[in-house]
Amino acid sequence: MNGQNRANITIGTKVLVVQKQDQRTGKLTEGIVKRILTNSPSHPHGIKVMLEDGVVGRVKEVRGG
């Protein structure tokens, strides 16, 4: 699943995110969602989340719960 729709993402879901400093290279970071930071139901660049290890980024792919 892609990370553009907030409905696809819940706390505890495993996701791949791109951090702000990695947007040019496209490097993805895997982690578990701790908080959902985007309030709108969708975002063209991905829903912004905070992972359990404190990393903040936009979801590119939802791996599942």
Q: Which residue has the tokens 């696809």?
A: 8
pLDDT at position 65 over 70: no
Q: Which residue has the tokens 């990370």?
A: 3
**Number of separate domains in the chain:** 1
pLDDT at position 46 over 90: yes
pLDDT band at 64 (very low <50, low <70, confident <90, very high): confident
- What pLDDT, on the 0 to 100 scale, is given for residue 51? 98
Helix or strand (DSSP H, E) at 62: strand 56-64
Q: Which residue has the tokens 């879901």?
A: 13
Higher pLDDT: 41 or 64? It is 41
Tokens of 29: 């970071």
pLDDT band at 3 (very low <50, low <70, confident <90, very high): very high
Give the domain extent around 18. Answer: 6-64
Residue 59 inside a domain? The answer is: yes
Query: Is the overall model pTM greater than 0.95, yes or no?
Result: no
**Pairwise CA distance, residues 30 & 55, whole Å:** 10
Residue 1 inside a domain? The answer is: no
Task: Report the candidate in 64, 61, 49 with the shortest Cα–Cα distance to residue 16.
Answer: 61
